[in-house]
Amino acid sequence: MLAVKAVAIKVFNLQQRSKSFMAECEALRNIRHRNLVGILTTCSSMDFHRNDFKALVYEFMPNESVERWQHKDGNLSLLQKLDIAIEAHAINYLQCECDSPIMHCDLKPSNILLDDDMVARVADFGLAKVLDPPMHPNQSSSIDVRGTVGYAAPGIYHK
């Protein structure tokens, strides 16, 4: 018997987003959470023209993004919206429970994907920043801020 599993493959345009592949790999290599899109494997090779080729293979999210649901006729019910907001505790996990805090830097409706059961999963860590673990609670740091205007991580401005 052959088992078939749908996957999502993110191929990187290395001329425009060379740092994005490394940022995403660094951010996701040691973390697991039920509300983060799971990475299955990476691919780093050369294509038939001998150009660098890099891709990430993720779990497939059949119900697309929250952004797509905002623009559909069926839209999301109030209960589904509340569930998605509650499932955002994955961001707290990234910032407070990981050994090295991770700032997503581009959390927006198109980067929140929905699985078979409409469970929200945070995706697209291409702009993520892995911060040094704080030495003590009052430590502060500064980092280069990037992201979609209006969706940059507020925590960046408080550090």
- Say what the pTM is: 0.78
Determine the average pLDDT of the residues in 93-120.
92
- Domains of the chain and CATH, by start: 7-135 (1.10.510.10)
Burial of 109 (0-12, 13-18, 19+ CB in 10 A): middle
Residue 103 pLDDT level (bands cut at 50, 70, 90): very high
Determine the average pLDDT of the residues in 11-32.
83
Phi, psi of 85 (to 5 degrees): -65, -40
Q: Please enumerate in sequence order all residues whose Cβ is within 8 A of that of 62, keeping only pairs 6 or more positions apart, or say none.
A: 6, 115, 116
Please provide the average confidence, as pLDDT, over all residues in the chain. 83
**Residue 1: its pLDDT value, please?**
80
Using a pLDDT cut of 90, give the percent of the chain over it.
38
> Please, are residues 128 and 105 in contact by the beta-carbon 8 Å criterion?
yes
Comparing 3-12, 82-91, 110-119, which segment has the lowest mean pLDDT? 82-91
79 pLDDT exceeds 60?
yes
> Please, are residues 129 and 24 in contact by the beta-carbon 8 Å criterion?
no
Which positions are catalytic? 106
